[in-house]
Structure 1
Amino acid sequence: MRDYGTAWRILRPSSMTDQIFIKAQRIRSIETKGISKVDEGVRSEFIGIVNYCAMALVQLELQPADQPEMDADVALKMYLDKIYGSKALMEDKNHDYDEAWRKMRVSSFTDLILMKLHRTKQIEDNQGKTIISEGIDANYMDMINYAIFALIKLEFPNDEENA
């Protein structure tokens, strides 16, 4: 927020979804091509996915603002609430799935994020209505967690726990 303030408050959730898509698509492109022409690797893009997903969760709650100014402390508290809520979901799922993420590849997290983005776009195109599937918020939370798992795998590639 020091660089951009709360300018993101003007974005509709669907625009947030598209921003996340751009980041995930760039990660997949770099993974596929094995090279990046811009001097930023996939790590910064996964961090961006975490941030945009948390901001999108705030936008779902508050709705976009015509005037994006928001008290920095309020924005930070809401952002952290969304991150901690996602972490609690991760811990519950991690228990049920027996930490399967540790044996996954980073590229699989990229693909899962892209799949969640396609699901999210379909729900958005259907005005948020679902019959039996999770809502947009659950997809954003899952994307946060997939991106965090990818960041852990990138940071500790040779960790036996992550193999």
Structure 2
Amino acid sequence: MPYTYTVTSHSPASPDAVFAVLLRAATWPEWSPIDSAAVEGDGDPEGPQRVGDVRVFRTGRGSARERIVDLVIDRRFQYTNEGDLFRSFRGTVDLTPAPEGGTDITWSAIFQPKWPFSGPFWRWYLTRFMQRMADGLAGYAVGAEDRPGSGS
């Protein structure tokens, strides 16, 4: 049985500024609960990633391998979790220009846990963790164009 979560946040930054931050794995530890980020292979965590890149995030003693599967410039960032906790996991970050200015961020996923009966726990945990991610992204993107290495 698949499970889902959806969290939202608002950033005063433009969609292109928010998108530029999402594409750079090296920024993620600066605005999220993630401790470190790397890109497998010859990918540069400082530069913008592309479809097919696999990013490795570490938080505490845990790690997550995520493959970028779809990018729509300034609008959508999609990834799959390549780890061993889920049978399937597809996350989506949708960016929408807000009528009052800035960007509305919707971070969601559909997933199927590997272990039976663990779905409610993962939905509870991921909803809280990903809300921190969305809020951190929203705040960090403000002024991102002015940070070295953060421009698109």
User: Same fold judged by TM-score > 0.5?
Assistant: no
Query: Could you state the TM-score of these two structures normalised by the residue count of structure 2?
Result: 0.27
Query: Could you state the TM-score of these two structures normalised by the residue count of structure 1?
Result: 0.26
